[in-house]
Chain A
Amino acid sequence: MPLIETRNLWQWRDGQDILKNINLRVERGEIFALIGPTGAGKTTLLRLIDLLDTPAEGAVFYDGADVNTSDRLKLETRRKMSFVLQKPVVFNTSVYDNVACGPRWRGMDSRHIRDRTDGVLETVGLTGYKNRNARTLSGGEVQRVAIARAIAVQPEVLLLDEPTANLDPVSASKIEELIAGIIERETITVIMATHDMEQGQRLADRIGVLVNGEMVQSGDSREVFTSPGNRQVAEFVGMENIIDGVVKTNEGEMAAIDINGRIIEAVTEFDVGEEVSVCMRPEDVTVALVKISSSARNSLAGNITWTVSTGPLCRVEIDCGFPLVALVTRRSAEEMGLKKGTQVYATFKAVSIHVIRRH
């Protein structure tokens, strides 16, 4: 039996569907990441799971029981969970009192509260801040207080809404490290919303992709990233090259796909004549000035149409009869003298291509 289950969950706001028929099952001890672009409905779903809002239709089950039946049951269930909001706020009191409020509200005895609060403050690295007013802390420190406050109640389920979205890269990485540590140490079920697909992949056992209020795909994190189910998921998980074509031949799942008159080979089950989209990550495309001999089945000549350098990497678009974006190191780009108009060969393996049905 899943610890948390949503059945046919719908939420509407101002006549619009925010969530459409969400059926989610999260097992005890599982780390589940909800990924999706901003406005996809991730926060709305977390709020429904934490029973902060009532769904327009459908039900939330906790440990097999429908928990939206009475205010008392809702409170009891909510007390088994903790929710770190996307923009956490701290109460206008000391860091210690912020962290101790959850255990106090549950009527724990004062010695237990003190031990637990001190322990949690040590875990998040805020021991030296316990007497400071929480409103005087920085964004990263506030996030730490929010996480400390959430785990102080020893929840069965920890809900995290974009835990690093509003932080600078250094603070974000520290918070992620902290969450990873909590996941490792505590026996806890985590449901985490993030628009950072890599973070989802790093932390979660399983991922659900939410787009426009719909759960378009869910599965183990590797599967979602390497085999997106449709174009929306492919775009979201970083498949920058999504090119339409038609399957010309398919022998033993090695298909030849016609894209604007150029043939590429890909591993797929789609039958001859099917209209498909070919998805590829830019980092899976190798760029060279001459045709290289390798095991890769595809090597297409083309001219560079633009290059953009971002940090240590350089993004180039090659016109191979269709536009193909590749990622090379800045150093390689400089050594090869890649610029607009340079003729290059784009090489990629048949297995690095993911083929989806075209809609």
Chain B
Amino acid sequence: MTEIWHGLVKAVELIISFDPEVMQIAGRSLLIAVSSAVIGSAICIPVASLIHFNQFRGKRFLVSLIQTFYSVPTVAVGLFVFVFISNAGPLGGLGILFSPTAIVVGQVILITPILLGLTISALSGVDRTILDTARSLGASGMQMAVLVIKEARFAVTAAVIMGFGRAISEVGISLMVGGNIRGFTRVITTAISLETSKGDLELAMALGIILIVIALIVNIVMNRIQQR
């Protein structure tokens, strides 16, 4: 118990003193997760709009399939990306294995189902009369899609934040395709895993606290958005 308390105190000291290693790892984690959320949103919001605004055979099945992948294991995505970008893989020539880019690619794949599914739900929540009103006022298909996304902006933002939360908290992809290289691809989750196994509980706890604070902020923002 004393050891845990001692570790906690040291961890707080590391955070308060802006320990360079802690800050570097936390900064990298945020940068990678934010990049994944932004790239994922740029892809998924238009695709979700396409799915929502078009009627086609198998649409319901597609949405169910997307929802099924909400809880895809991170190691499964990690393995999938590893197979593709390893030297022997079809995209091995890109040379991105064990780089932040590889982590971003993996995280984008990981959060795609969440972003797609929740954005489709958000767009479905917009009153049909809004669509009729926009059409009757002469909106084109694209103008209508932009309007509906704007109308559903709070729910869409919530989807993006959920995606960000999933990206920053995953460990499997960062470890498998990032390689946990110090000063290059080491992120909060992989560092916690490593430092815990090494017995350096202070650093692991400091990073854990930062991760929990980020999760808390995400949660508060989400709640605020959903109340609007």
Contacts and interface: CB of A to CB of B under 8 A. Distances in A.
Contacts of B138: 75, 78-79, 102, 105-106, 153
B59 interface: no
Contacts of A92: 150-151
Interface residues of B, number: 16
A88 interface: yes
Given A89-B130, A105-B143, A50 B136 contact: yes
Contacts of A79: 138
Contacts of B132: 47, 52, 85
Contact of A105 (B127, B140, B151): B140
B151 A83 contact: no
A149 B150 CA distance: 18
B135 A87 contact: no
A89 B133 contact: yes
A87 B136 contact: no
Task: Summarize B's interface: helix, strand, loop or mixed.
Answer: helix
Nearest to A92: B151
A24 interface: no
A85 B140 CA distance: 19
B137 A82 contact: yes
A322 interface: no
A49 B95 CA distance: 59
B129 interface: yes
A85 B129 contact: yes
Interface in A48-105: 50, 52, 75, 78-79, 81-83, 85, 87-89, 91-93, 101-102, 105
Contacts of B127: 89
A91 B136 contact: no
B74 to A, nearest CB: 36
A91 B150 CA distance: 9
Nearest to A159: B136
Contacts of A188: none
Interface in A118-148: 146
B157 to A, nearest CB: 13
B215 interface: no
B147 interface: yes
B130 A105 contact: no
B139 interface: yes
A149 B129 contact: no
A149 B137 CA distance: 8
A150 interface: yes
Interface in B131-180: 132-140, 143, 147, 150-151
A56 to B, nearest CB: 18
Contacts of B130: 89, 91
A155 B130 CA distance: 20
B137 A105 contact: yes
Contacts of A82: 136-137
Contacts of A89: 127, 129-130, 133
Contacts of A91: 130, 133, 147, 150-151
Interface of B: 127, 129-130, 132-140, 143, 147, 150-151
Given A85-B136, A88-B133, A89-B130, 6 more contacts: A50-B136, A52-B132, A91-B150, A105-B138, A106-B138, A146-B133
11 contacts: A47-B132, A52-B136, A75-B140, A78-B135, A91-B147, A91-B150, A92-B151, A101-B147, A105-B139, A105-B140, A106-B138
